[in-house]
Amino acid sequence: FAGRSRDRTHIYFSVDPGEISTVGAFQLVLESEDSELEAALEKAITLGAGSFDGADLRQSEWDLWIRLLVAGYVDAEVASRFDETSEKGVINVVFDVKPGEPCGCDGVELEGLIRVRRERAMSRALGRLVKNGRIRSVGQLEDRFADLEALDGGQLLPGGEVPLRIQLDEAPHSKIGPAGNFDITNGFILAQGGFEWSVRHLGGGLSTFLCRTRLGYSVLPNKVSHFEDHGPLTDQILEWEIPASVAHGLSLFVGGLGATDVKVGYHSVMSGGNLGMRWKPTKGLKFELGYHVEYWHYFPFAGQKARFLAAFTDDVDWQDPNGPRLRRNYLLNQFRFLGELDLRDRTLDPHRGFLARTTVAPYGLAGDKPWVRSTLDLRGYVPLTRRNFTLAMRLYGGIFRQYGNSEGLGLHSRRLFIGGPTTVRGWSKDDLAAPGFPGDERAVQLGGDVLLMSSVELRARPHRSLHLVAFADVGRVWSTPYDIYNKDNEQTSRGVRLSDLQPAVGGGVRLPVPFGTVRLELAYRVRDDGNAANPPWRTSIVFGLADIF
């Protein structure tokens, strides 16, 4: 014990995740309205530190079950509610305890089981817990707790009051780990790597400082496209999140950001900042309201790309004797609202549950460009068997609406794009173009203002180190009649038609690793979309170091 305050008993135990990160200590806080029960717990409970192989660990998949046999009760049950913010390493587990029938037993017994649900074998590597001073192997408790796995953290016993609450919060720590992805499709190479660093500390509340840096380079060879797209891809984020005492789960954040990007026709450099507030009123429910400002500087390419872009905006002067130049840069800003309901059993490779996320971002309130961009992301996971087969489904849509005279590259950078290893497989990144651009012009991707895509995956786990997947993707972007016109006011789009949706099917293998998932997949485009930029073959090899959904 690290000590006992007036109304809490604090128990500390350490977890070593091996080579993944330095998580530090976790604080186990026991709160009870029953002073005798709390005194008995303080006298009897002893927790020992276990060890395990860090290569098998994913922090966001931890699950903790505790069974209490407390003085005066038999089989008091504990139901966990698992809440985590994986991108910052925050783990919060709350237990509701329901007492069983009274008994005449003396003393207090505590048994614990820590399990990664996805991999039963992991529990044998988690080490040991202590019961009344006697070490008991976690593996010996598996059969007793096997039935809890199917309950998915729900309330085990109905009715009655909750006499005891146990909360597991992350103690102050610093963490550094890898962050990035690597994808290859149709010869397009997107590589991003770097590091992610976060520091958590206590100071009138738990605040978080996050620093994330990703570095990469994109290459699109000539043999795949009529143009050469290559250049650095980077993004940097600095963010400080401070809890607010106005309401439970409310926090404020402020940060800065920067990025470099490569789009069809230009390079870009961005710097900016954001501020806002987040509210997590209950498990899985999150709201965010923020204000976001970006300043973009663009560097157009020479040749055919610059001429094509000049047909849609006056911002590019491609006839300048010194080469194509940009007549101005852009100040882009937005209010951003995010709502999210996450009922998945875990963040990485879910087995059951549901996620709904929506964003609404109105632009142009104080900058150059007035428009609104909205998205809706729905994901569902249905267990076909208890552990090894999952049906995963995703439906994603977006609408981009411009107002007034909103031409320019600033507008282009905010449009909707589709295609690539994380959307519709079988096409290169952002290469599934909107219909209606004839000839070689269709090789230049302008994105669209309406996006619709869906994915279905059948996931099998024959072994904890080898996963199999079969998938079907379908999607498209469209430029609707109120969207793109050239400078002569000639309409270049024909509106949304579901018959334009492009399907792809395939399968592959996935290898779980400590920092994500290694994916090797084969995708087949069911029909040709008529894009002159795409290669004549329809089969693509997709390799990646990132989860899809």
* pLDDT digit string, tens, across residues 151-195: 223 322 222 222 223 333 333 444 444 444 444 544 445 544 444
Whether 40 contacts 9, CB under 8 Å: no
- Quick check: 300 pLDDT over 90? no
Min mean pLDDT across 255-259, 433-437, 526-530 is at: 433-437
- Quick check: 245 pLDDT over 80? no
pLDDT band at residue 48 under the 50/70/90 scheme: very low
Which residue, 281, 286, 277, 422, is CA-closest to 342?
286
pLDDT band at residue 270 under the 50/70/90 scheme: confident
CA distance 515 to 51: 19
Mean pLDDT across 416-440: 73
- Which CA distances in Å does 110 have to 10, 67, 77, 131? 15, 6, 11, 6
The Cβ of residue 62 has, within 10 Å, a number of other Cβ atoms equal to 22
**What per-residue confidence (pLDDT) applies to 251?**
86
Task: Give the position of tokens 């290859």.
Answer: 184
Mean pLDDT across 251-262: 85
Mean pLDDT across 285-313: 73
- Quick check: 31 pLDDT over 60? no
316-317 and 389-402 beta bridge pairing: unpaired
Which residue, 352, 390, 396, 393, is CA-closest to 375?
396
CA distance 160 to 154: 15
pLDDT band at residue 457 under the 50/70/90 scheme: very high
The domains of the chain, with CATH numbers, are 3-170 (no CATH), 173-545 (2.40.160.50)
Percentage of the chain surpassing pLDDT 70?
40
Task: Give the position of tokens 């980077």.
Answer: 234
Mean pLDDT across 383-394: 90
Mean pLDDT across 262-273: 76
- Quick check: 515 pLDDT over 70? no
Tell me the DSSP string of 459-485. Answer: EEEEETTEEEEEEEEEEEEE--TTS-B
Mean pLDDT across 497-506: 87
pLDDT band at residue 213 under the 50/70/90 scheme: low
**What per-residue confidence (pLDDT) applies to 381?**
95
Give the three-class secondary structure for 514.
coil
Residues whose CB is less than 8 angstroms from the CB of residue 239 and which lie 6 or more positions away in sequence, other chains included: 208, 209, 210, 253, 254, 255
Min mean pLDDT across 115-124, 353-362, 373-382, 441-450 is at: 115-124
Q: Which two tokens stand for residue 469?
A: 């997947």
pLDDT band at residue 277 under the 50/70/90 scheme: very high
Which residue, 79, 80, 4, 76, is CA-closest to 38?
4
Mean pLDDT across 415-420: 83
- Quick check: 395 pLDDT over 90? yes
- The more confidently predicted of residues 505 and 55 is 505
- Quick check: 46 pLDDT over 60? no
- Quick check: 224 pLDDT over 60? no
**What per-residue confidence (pLDDT) applies to 481?**
52
Give the three-class secondary structure for 44.
helix
**Helix H or strand E segment including 14:** strand 9-14
Task: Give the position of tokens 């786990």.
Answer: 461
- The more confidently predicted of residues 369 and 390 is 390
Whether 167 contacts 94, CB under 8 Å: yes
- Quick check: 290 pLDDT over 90? yes
**What per-residue confidence (pLDDT) applies to 177?**
47
pLDDT band at residue 280 under the 50/70/90 scheme: confident
**What per-residue confidence (pLDDT) applies to 49?**
28
CA distance 135 to 156: 27
Rounded to 10 degrees, the C-alpha dihedral 281/287/292/296 comes to: 130
**What per-residue confidence (pLDDT) applies to 369?**
61
Mean pLDDT across 326-355: 84
- Quick check: 77 pLDDT over 60? no
Give the three-class secondary structure for 549.
coil
Phi, psi of 3 (to 5 degrees): 135, 165
Give the three-class secondary structure for 303.
coil
Which residue, 326, 259, 250, is CA-closest to 292?
259
- Quick check: 471 pLDDT over 90? yes
> Which residues face 334 on adjacent strands?
292, 363
